[in-house]
Structure 1
Amino acid sequence: MGRADERRARQQAMRRAGRRDRKGNKRGIRRFFTWKKILGTVLGLAVVVIGAFIFVYMSVSVPAANADAERQSNVYEYSDGKVLARTGAVNREIVGLDQVPKGVQHTFVALENKTFYQDSGVDLKGTARALLSTVTGHGKQGGSTITQQYVKNYYLNQDQTASRKLKELVISLKVDRNKSKSDILAGYMNTSYYGRNAYGIQAAAQAYYGVDASKLTVNQGAYLAALLQAPSQYDWAVATPTGKKLVTERWNNVLRNMVSMHWLSAQDRAGMKFPVPMKPKPQAGLGGQTGYLVDAADKELEHRLEAQGASASDAQARVAAGGWTITLNIDRKKEAALESAVKHQLTSKLEPKNRPRDADAQAGAASVDPKTGKVLALYGGKDYMTHATSNATREDYQPASTFKPVIFATALENGAQTQDGKPINANTIYDGTSGRPVKGSSIAFAPTNEDGADYGPINVQKAMDDSVNSVFAQMGVDVGMTDVLKTGAKLGMDMKNQQPYPSQTLGTMGASPLQMAGVYATFDNHGKLVTPAVLKSAEHQGAKVSLPSPIGQQVLTRNTADSVTSVLTGVVDQGTGSIVKNKNFQIAGKTGTSDDDVSAWFSGFTPDMVTSVGLFGEAAKAESVDGKKYPQFGHVPLTGTGGLIAQNGRVNGGGYPAQIWGEFMSGADKAHGSAGKFDLDTDQGAAVAPSPSLTTSSSPSTSPSTSPSTSQSVSPPASPSHSEPASPPASSSGDGSGSTPSGDPGDGPSPSNSGLPTGDPGNGNGDPGTGDNQGGGNNGLLNP
C-alpha cells in the first residue's frame, strides 16, 4: 500500500471513530458532548455552587438560641376529646465542662465524632448524603458532627428538611470559628435529649444513675453516649432484648474507640462492666394508668416520625420538645372497666405484706377493636408512678400456648401435611402421647404434656381445647418452623433473631399483650392484618401527622382465619378457657402458662372485641425461691400468688387472666355482632361442626406411635378435668387441668432470668435454651 493509500485509510478510520462529515466536523450526539464542553460545564457548575454557597454563607447568620420559655406542654386526650394529661416541664440543668470528668467527655467524642478536635465543625460527605436522602425521601438522616448536632439542638430544631440541613451546615462552620471546642462540646452535652425527660448531661446522670454529672464514671458516660442514638429503644429499663443488645454493642464501641485513641488503657477497659442504670422515676401527674397511656402514645408517635424519615433520637426529641395535641383511641369507659376488672379479680386479693410473693405479680392487658384496629383500653400496671414499665407493651415474657393458634394457622395456610401425608385440619388425628419425640426434626425434642397426661390418638380440635404440647410440637415440625415464624411475623409478632427450633411451638419467644391482641384481632378480622393503634391523631402547631390505617392487607386467607377462630371457640366451650364461657355471645380464645409458672395468659375475642391479658412474675426485690436466687426485676414464678395453695399453688391462664378477661368483656362488649355469633367462612372447628365421634380407647398410649398422625377414629383416654374455678384460691394449676408441672420449656430463662431463648443448641431430647433445663429430654416444656 502506497503512502497516499495509507493516508486515506487513516482519514477514513478517523472519520468513522469521530463520526465526522467530509469537512471534518463531528456528527450526531458527538457534536454536543466533547471533553472541552464537559469540562467547561463541570467548572461552570462548580462556580455556580461555590457562588451559591458563598451567598448562603453570607446571608445566613447565627440565630438566637432556642429559649426554654418557648417550650409548650403536650396535651393528651381520650377519644372523646376529654383531656387525659398535660406534660412538658423542662428537666435541664446546665453544667460547665469543668463539672464533667475528662474521661466522660471523651466517651461522647469517641463515639460520635472522633475528629471533633481537628475538624472544622462539619462533615461534608455526611451532610451531602443526608441532604440527598432528605430530598429524595429515602432513609434516615445521619453523618452529623458534634458541632452540627449542637447547632441543631441549640439554634435550630429537629425538623428533617433540606433547608434546615443547609442552615445547619453554614451555622456549624460559623460556630466552629467563633467558639472553642470546649464550649461546643459542653453545649452539645447540655442540649442533647437522653430520654426519661432528661435534657443535658446533668439531668441524664441523675435520671439514670442518681448522681451528679461530676460523679459519673467512664463506663457510665459510655452508656449515656451510646444512649443518644435512640433513647427510648436503648433505655435499659424498657428496652427489648434487641435494644439491649444494640446499646451494649454501642457501649463496647465507645470504649474500644477510646482505647484506640489512647484515652483509655486496655487494662482499665478490661476491668469495666456494663453499668446497668437504675429504674426510671416517673413524672409527677402521671399516676395510675395515665402514665402508661401517655408513654404508649409517645412511642407510637415517635415510630411514626421515624417512618417519615426522622432518626430515632430526633423523633424522641421532637415529641419531648412539646407543643403537641395528641388524641388517643382509648375509650374512657372501657379503660375504667378494664382497670376495675383487674382490681376486682386480682390486685384486691394480693397481700404483699402478709404474702411477699404477691408483690411479684404484674398484670398487663390490651383491648382492640378488630374492625378498626383502635386500641380501646390498656392496663399497664397498678400505678405508673411505682412501676413505670408498661405490662401492656413489654415484650420480655413468653406468650406460651397462646402461640399455638399461629402454628395451626400456618398449617392451614400452607396446606401442610402430617409425616404420613395426611392434610392437617381440625379433625386430623395426632399422637398425644406425653414425652413422644417429634419426628422429622434435626433437633431432638420430646415435650411432655401437663401432668404427663397421655392422650393417645387425639384430633387437633381436642388438642387445642386441652392444649396438648406433644401434638403442636409435632405439628410445628410437620408444617416447618421457618414457616411458622414467618406467619408470626406476618401477624405482627417480633420474630427478629428467632431461630426455627421445635421448642418455639410452645411459645418461647417474647411478646406483649398488645402484640397478642393484634394477632388475635387479625384472626377475628377474617385474616386482614390488624396493627393496634393507640393514636387517633397527632397535631403540632397546626400541622397534622399522617397516620397509617391500622387495617392492613390480607395476610391470611379468610378460610384460614375463620377456621382458627372456629377451633378456638372449643377452648372456651369445652376446654381450658371454659371459665369465660358466656351464653349471650360466642367467644374464641386460648390460655397459656409459661416456663416455671413465670407468666400466665388469656387471649380471646368476640365478634366485636379482642382482649389479651397477661400476668407476669417480676421480682419486686432480690429474692430466693425454692433455693434459686432471682435479682430484682428478674422473672420469677407466680406460684402461690393470691394465696393459692391447691395443686402446688400454680397460677394458670384459665385462672386470674381469664377471670379478668371475663369480667371486663362481659361489661365492655355490648355490641356482640350479629346476635353475638361469628360470621365464619369455614366448615371445620367447634363453632361450625362437631368433631367426628371417636371410639373409646381403654388405655392410653404410653410410648411413641410408629406414625405421629393417623386417620383412625379413636378416642383419647380420659384426661384431667379442665374446668376452671370460680375464684383464684380454688384455682387448679396449668390451664385448668388441676395438675402439677412436669417440666419447663427447652428455651428456659436466660441467666438474667429474662425468660427469653438465646438460641444456643441444647443436648439430649431437649431443645435449644440456656435456662436451668437446657437440653435434657422432658426438661423443656411449657404448661398449656
Structure 2
Amino acid sequence: MGRAEERRARQRGGHRAAPKTRRSSGADTTGATGATGGKEAKDAKGGKSFIRRLFTWKKILGAFLGFCLLGIGAFIVLYMMISIPAGNADAKLQSNVYKYSDGSILTRKGTVNRENVDLSQVPKDVQETFVAAENKTFYKDAGVDLRGTARGLLNTLSGKGAQGGSTITQQYVKNYYLTQDQTVTRKLKEMVISLKLDREKSKDYILAGYINTSYYGRGAYGIQAAAQAYYRVDAKDLSVEQGAYLAALLQAPNQYDWAIATDTGKKLVQARWNYVLDNMVGQGWLSSTKRQAMTFPTPKPPKAEAGMAGQIGYLVTEADAALEKQLISSGQAANTKEAEALVSAGGWTITLNIDKKKQAQLEKSVKSQLTSKLNGKKRKVDANVQPGAVSVNPKTGAVVAMYGGVDYLKHFTNNATRTDYQPASTFKPVILAAALADQAKTQSGKTITTDTRYDGTSKRPVVGSDIAFAPQNEDDQNYGKVTVQTAMNKSINSVFAQLGVDVGMDKVMKTAGELGMDTGDLKAVPAQTLGTMGASPMEMAGVYATFDNHGRKVTPAIIKSVSHNTRTVTMPNPIGAQVIPVQAADTVTSVLTGVVDDGTAKTSVRDNSKRDGQQVAGKTGTSDNNKSAWFTGYTPDLVTSVGLFGEKAGSGAQVPLTGATGLIPYPGRINGGGYPAQIWATYMFGVTKANNKFDLNTDQGAAVEPSYTPSPTATPSETPSKTPKPSETPSETPSETPSETPSQTPSQTPIETPTTTPPTTPTGSITDQPLDQFGQ
C-alpha cells in the first residue's frame, strides 16, 4: 500500500477501499450488502453523478457569460446599424375628419397649435420643473433607464403594455423620432437612439426638444402653446408654480385639465403638482421656504378651437375620448397620454353615430322650450342654467343626438357627459329593477310586485336599516298606503327608501353598476335611493336603453366607425349581455308608462299636442335644493335623457335652478316634469314612429292594466283599475288612491300601514299645480 493510499485509508477509518471493478455481463455482483442493495446504491450514485455532470457550476457560469456576451454582441450590432433618423411623420401632424352617420362632413380638426421656443426663453426654474417631474437624474444619466427599459420590454413581450420609467431623452426620442407603437423593435430602437443622442447632443438640446414636442392638452403642442392655452402668458413669463402644473399635465393632459377634470382628476393633478415641487426641493433647486409659500395656480378657462362652435365641439371631444379609450383597451396605447398623442397626431377619419336630422331637432327643441326663455341680464339665475341631453337607439346603442350646452365656445364642459350632478328620482327605476330581478321580499316576507303596498308618509323612518333614515317627500307630502306603481307615478321618496332597504342596498348598487352607472366606491346606504350619486345624461340614457332593450346591456356609443392610414381600430359592440331578466326589465317599462299617463310627466308628455299615438315610458327627477332637474324617457325605438344643471356662471359651483325663466308661483322650482319633459316631448314626438307600442313580457304594471286610457284631451282618472278580491291580502291589493283611510292602527311598520293620517286630496293638490309645480 502506497503512502497516499494509507493516508486515505486512515481517513476512512483504517479500511482500504475495495478496488474498482468493471461490471461484465452475467457477473455476480452480490456482496456483503446483498445483490439488491448494492445495485440500488450504485444506481443512486450513478444518477447523482449524471446530474452533477450536467449542471456543474462551471457550465452554469459559462452559459450565463455566453448569454451576456451574446446580448452585448447583439446590442453592439444594433448600435452600429441604427442611426439617429429624421423627425417621424407623426411629428408633422395631419387633420382629423369627422362625419355624420350618413357620411356627410361634420368638421375637420388638425391645425397644429405649436410654436417652438429656445430653451433660453424658458426660465431655468421652469425648466427644472420638467426634470423634477419626469427624470430627476436627467443631467447625470446617459439618456437611458436600463431598468425601466428592461421592464418595458418584458411587459411588451408578456402583453401587459408599457410602464413608466423612461428618461426625458427616451420620451423625446419616442415623440419626435419614432412612434407611440408598443413593440419590442420600437423599444430597442428607442434605447439605441437615446444613447447616441445623449452622446452627440447637449442636455439643453434634448430638454428643449422634449418640452417643445410634448402634448399638453387643449390642442397645445410645446411649452409656448401650453403657456398661452392655460395661463395666457408666453413661456418666458411662466412662474415656477405654473411650470409645475404644465409639467404635471404631461402625465395625462386631458384627465388633468382643470377645466374638465373630475374631482378625482383634480386631486390627482394637485398631488402631481406637489410631487414636482417637492422633488425640486429635494434636488436643491427650490428652497423649502419658497416651496411652503406656493399655492396651486388654477388655470384659466380654455379658448375653444376654431370650427368647434355650437354643438360641434362637444361631439368632436366626445368622439376623441371614445377613440382614446379604445386605443388603450386594444393595447395600441399604454395610457391616456399616449392615446391622446395618437389621436392628436391626426390622420383619422371618424364617422359618428350622430343622425343629422335628429341632432338638428334636438338643438331646435332645447332652444324653443328653454334657452329662448333665458335672460341672464334680466335674471342672474338664468345665466346659471346648463342643459344637456343624449338620445340613444336602444337596439344598436348608437348615440344619434347629443346636446352638450348652449355653445362649446362659451361653455367648455359637456353637459351631456358630466357626472357631477345627482340624477335624483330618475334612479328610482333602478331600485325597482333590482327588486324584480332579485325577487326581493318585504319586511313581512312577501315577494315585491308592482301591487305591493307601502306607507307613503313623509319622513317615516325606514325599517330594517342599520343606518337611521327618514326621507322627506317632495313638499313634505303624505300619501298613506300606496302601491309601488303609484309610488313611482308620484315619485314618493319614503316608499323607495323602504323598497331599497327591503331589496338590500348592496344589491341595488350592484344592479346600478350592471345597468351602466359608475358606482365606483360609493357606499351602499339608504340615502342612495334618492339618487344622490353623480350621473350624466349619457349614463342615464344607457340605463333606460337597457330597460327598453328588454334587459340586455346597452352602452351608448358615439362612434360608428374609425379608419386611419397606418393603423386599424375596431370599436366595441355597444350591445352587451343580459344584465337583468327580460320580465324584470319589461315590468319596469310597464310601470314607467304610468309615470307618463298618470303621474308626474302627464302634462308635458301625455297631453303634448305633438304626440302621435306613441307609447311612452319615463321618469322625472328633481335633486336636493333644485340644483338639477331631469326627464329620462323612451318609446320602443328611441331613448332620450334630458338634464338641467344649476352651475354658477364663471365659478362652476352648483347652485339652485329655482326662479329661472321668471317662474314666480311658489316655490318657483324647475322640476323634471317641467322644462326637461317639455324638451324631451318636443324632440321625441318629432323623430319617433307614430303609434309605436312596447312589446312587453310581463303581467304587471300600468302598461298591462292601466288606470288611464291615453288620450290628449281626456281627464286623468284616479279610480282603481280593479276591485280587490276578498281573498287578497292587503300587501297585494292595488291602491291607486293614496288618500285612502288606513284600516289598521297607525304604527312604524313600513308595509301595509301609514304612520299618520294622509291628507284628503293629495292627488288633486298635485294635479292642480301650475307648470313649474309638477312632481319630482
- What is the TM-score of this pair, normalised by structure 1? 0.86
CA RMSD of aligned residues (A): 2.9
Question: Which of 181, 203, 211 is the matching residue for 2:225?
Answer: 203
Structure 1: how far apart are the matches of 2:514 and 2:740? Answer: 43
Structure 2: how far apart are the matches of 1:647 and 1:684? Answer: 37
- The alpha-carbon distance between structure 1 residues 693 and 493, as it changes in their structure 2 partners (threshold 3 A), is closer
Question: Which of 413, 428, 438 is the matching residue for 1:404?
Answer: 428
The amino acid that maps onto 1:133 is N
1:646 aligned onto 2:671: no
- The alpha-carbon distance between structure 1 residues 412 and 716, as it changes in their structure 2 partners (threshold 3 A), is farther
Structure 2 partner of 1:585: 614
Structure 2 partner of 1:466: 490
4+ residue runs of structure 1 moved beyond 4 angstroms?
1-9, 12-22, 24-27, 29-34, 690-693, 695-704, 714-717, 720-726
Secondary structure in structure 1 of the residue aligned to 2:255: helix
Which stretch has the larger CA shift, 222-231 or 278-287?
A: 222-231
1:397, distance to aligned residue in structure 2 (A): 1.2
Q: How many pairs were matched up?
A: 716
Q: Deviations over 1:602-643 (max 9, x none)?
A: 00111111100011111224xxxxxxxxxx221111111112
Structure 1: how far apart are the matches of 2:765 and 2:55? Answer: 84
1:216 aligned onto 2:238: yes
The amino acid that maps onto 1:587 is V
The amino acid that maps onto 1:620 is A
Structure 2: how far apart are the matches of 1:21 and 1:322? Answer: 70
The amino acid that maps onto 2:460 is R
1:511, distance to aligned residue in structure 2 (A): 1.1
1:707 aligned onto 2:732: no
Structure 2 partner of 1:151: 173
Structure 1: how far apart are the matches of 2:379 and 2:141? Answer: 62
Structure 2 partner of 1:328: 352
Structure 2 partner of 1:172: 194
Which structure 2 segments of 5+ residues have no match?
Answer: 1-11, 19-31, 707-720, 722-732
1:205-604 equivalent positions in 2, closer than 5 A: 205-309=227-331, 310=333, 311-541=335-565, 543-578=567-602, 579-581=604-606, 582=611, 584-604=613-633
Structure 1: how far apart are the matches of 2:40 and 2:467? Answer: 69
Structure 2: how far apart are the matches of 1:17 and 1:478? Answer: 74
Q: Deviations over 1:503-541 (max 9, x none)?
A: 211111111111111111111111111111111111110
Secondary structure in structure 2 of the residue aligned to 1:231: coil
Give yes or no for contact 1:724–1:731 (8 Å, CA) kept in 2.
no
Q: Deviations over 1:698-720 (max 9, x none)?
A: 558999832112399x9996324
1:60 aligned onto 2:82: yes
Which stretch has the larger CA shift, 258-267 or 206-215?
A: 258-267
Structure 2 partner of 1:667: 686
1:186 aligned onto 2:192: no
Question: Which of 109, 120, 123 is the matching residue for 1:87?
Answer: 109
Structure 1: how far apart are the matches of 2:655 and 2:743? Answer: 35
1:590, distance to aligned residue in structure 2 (A): 0.6
Q: Deviations over 1:565-600 (max 9, x none)?
A: 111111111111112124612111111111211111
Structure 2: how far apart are the matches of 1:373 and 1:477? Answer: 32
1:93, distance to aligned residue in structure 2 (A): 1.2
Structure 1 partner of 2:695: 679
Which stretch has the larger CA shift, 611-620 or 346-355?
A: 346-355
Secondary structure in structure 2 of the residue aligned to 1:646: coil
Q: Deviations over 1:265-295 (max 9, x none)?
A: 3333333222221111111111111111111
The amino acid that maps onto 2:311 is Q
Structure 2: how far apart are the matches of 1:77 and 1:703? Answer: 66
Structure 2: how far apart are the matches of 1:15 and 1:256? Answer: 72
The amino acid that maps onto 1:467 is S
- The alpha-carbon distance between structure 1 residues 18 and 203, as it changes in their structure 2 partners (threshold 3 A), is farther
- What is the TM-score of this pair, normalised by structure 2? 0.87
Structure 2: how far apart are the matches of 1:128 and 1:639? Answer: 60
1:403, distance to aligned residue in structure 2 (A): 1.0
Give yes or no for contact 1:18–1:26 (8 Å, CA) kept in 2.
no
Structure 2: how far apart are the matches of 1:51 and 1:17? Answer: 47
1:416, distance to aligned residue in structure 2 (A): 2.1
- The alpha-carbon distance between structure 1 residues 429 and 338, as it changes in their structure 2 partners (threshold 3 A), is same
Secondary structure in structure 1 of the residue aligned to 2:98: strand
Question: Which of 607, 630, 643 is the matching residue for 2:636?
Answer: 607
- The alpha-carbon distance between structure 1 residues 68 and 301, as it changes in their structure 2 partners (threshold 3 A), is closer
Structure 2: how far apart are the matches of 1:540 and 1:276? Answer: 36
Structure 2: how far apart are the matches of 1:213 and 1:685? Answer: 64
Q: Percent identity?
A: 62
Structure 2: how far apart are the matches of 1:700 and 1:96? Answer: 82
- The alpha-carbon distance between structure 1 residues 505 and 696, as it changes in their structure 2 partners (threshold 3 A), is closer
Structure 2: how far apart are the matches of 1:447 and 1:5? Answer: 99
Give yes or no for contact 2:745–2:753 (8 Å, CA) kept in 1.
no
Give yes or no for contact 2:324–2:340 (8 Å, CA) kept in 1.
yes
1:618-767 equivalent positions in 2, closer than 5 A: 618-621=647-650, 632-670=651-689, 676-690=692-706, 692-694=733-735, 705-710=747-752, 718-721=761-764, 731-733=771-773, 736-737=774-775
Structure 2 partner of 1:759: none
